[in-house]
Amino acid sequence: MNMPSSLPVVRLKPKANARAIRHGFPWVYDNELVTDRRTKGLEAGALAILEDDKRQPLGLVATNSNSRIFCRMLDRDVDAVIDQAWFAAKISRAHEMRQRLYDTPFYRLIHAEADGLPGVVVDRFGDTVVVQPNAAWSEILLEPLVAALVEVTGVSTVIKNGSGRARGLEGLEDDSSVMVGTAPDAPVPVVMNGATYMADLTGGQKTGLFYDQRPNHGFAAKLCKDAKVLDVFSHVGGFSLAALAGGAAEATAVDGSAAALALAEAGAAAAGVADRFATRKGDAFDVLTALNEEGATFDVVICDPPAFAPSKPALEKGLRAYERVARLAAPLVAEGGYLGLCSCSHAADVARFRGASLRGIGRAGRQAQLLHTGFAGPDHPLMPQLAESGYLKSLFFRL
């Protein structure tokens, strides 16, 4: 809890874009601030008042001199008190919207900046929520955040997933634990688009399941009736299990993780489609190459790789990787079949990703119609001022 009158002040340089901050941009980079010994000495996660170069207040921010993002906007009211009640107000607003959108309590509850809690991700799995405090301020204030989550949602279990690249960029260590209640002793079944997914909330990737692809799984399923389907970088069977729920004749999931494929198999069994489901463990590029050498073909091929371009310095290398995925996947698609290509890279916008995908398809000697461009579901709202909050792109082509 903070006493506003005692907070330090951080100030923008004269050439910094204060207008963008006033219009809703939530970050201030380290090169935009007047930084002296006092500013650099602020504890990671400390709260401060942000002023423009004319000393006019812009809002209450969380600071981190260890991060490229020095300030994250928390509240336009410089007198705001960041306590359990403040968190509860933010969470209540987000919760009300998800309850309107979804019939069951399985969704992303807090999508960081877009829901007013910078760097904080919360996914809900029924009576359990998994919290990722990916910014230093949220690590410090995790106790009132967790209390507010329980207050608003009534969940009995809160798990902290303190791992991942984002925490490293903030100077935070890996630290996961059960904050409230008892962690589930088995994967949690989650039904989406008629498919059953098994979410490992303590040992799986991220929070245990990727909710963001839900609408794209649903679209892809429409293409898969009576089809032979290949799902590459499948994780726990995202597209392949949705395809089977949509009436696919058969589906094969490819992933490098044996644990993820085991969860996919459990999901297929739970949904009663195990007899039409197969898995193939291995590096996705190696498996795609091998399938080409085998002369395999599929009616629908979908590739949903990890973020190949997670930052601007990695952009060009990442785009080449997306082009390579398309080049290897396109020959596996039967004439008149469908190819889905996805990117969750912040740095690769939809135009660049589409260009890389089309180059790969062209290099494979195929021609394409672009049928549909999909994004994350509404439980992953886009903050219009922050392009990074709209990271997911899914392109569906007919070849």
pLDDT of res. 206: 76
Does residue 303 surpass a pLDDT of 60? yes
Percent of the chain with pLDDT over 90: 89
**How far, in Å, are 128, 334, 348, 352 from residue 345 at the CA level?**
28, 28, 6, 11
Percent of the chain with pLDDT over 70: 99
E strand map for 147-211: 157-160, 177-180, 188-192, 195-199
pLDDT (mean) for 108-125: 97
Does residue 239 surpass a pLDDT of 90? yes
Q: Measuring CA to CA, which residue among 196, 198, 194 is closest to residue 208?
A: 198
Q: What is the pLDDT of residues 95-115, one digit of tens each?
A: 999 999 999 999 999 999 999
CA 91/CA 138 separation, integer angstroms:
14
- Confidence at 123, pLDDT banded by 50, 70, 90: very high
Specify the fold of 188-398: Rossmann fold (3.40.50)
In the sheet with 57-63, reading across from the earlier edge strand, the strands are 9-11, 47-51, 57-63, 69-75, 27-29
CA 122/CA 125 separation, integer angstroms:
10
pLDDT of res. 3: 45
In the sheet with 298-303, reading across from the earlier edge strand, the strands are 277-281, 250-255, 228-232, 298-303, 333-343, 393-398, 369-374
Which CATH architecture describes the domain 84-180?
Answer: 2-Layer Sandwich (3.30)
CA 237/CA 266 separation, integer angstroms:
10
**Least confident interval from 206-215, 251-260, 347-356:** 206-215
pLDDT of res. 380: 97
Q: Which are the catalytic amino acids?
A: 344
Specify the fold of 4-75: 2.30.130
Site of tokens 């990671």: 44
Does residue 336 surpass a pLDDT of 50? yes
Q: What is the DSSP letter of 154?
A: -
How does strand 120-125 pair with strand 177-180? unpaired
Does residue 1 surpass a pLDDT of 60? no
Assign 3-class secondary structure to 64-109.
Answer: CCCCCEEEEEEECCCCCCCCHHHHHHHHHHHHHHHHHHCCCCEEEE
pLDDT of res. 2: 47
Q: What is the DSSP letter of 187?
A: P
CATH 3.40.50.150 domain range(s) in the chain: 188-398
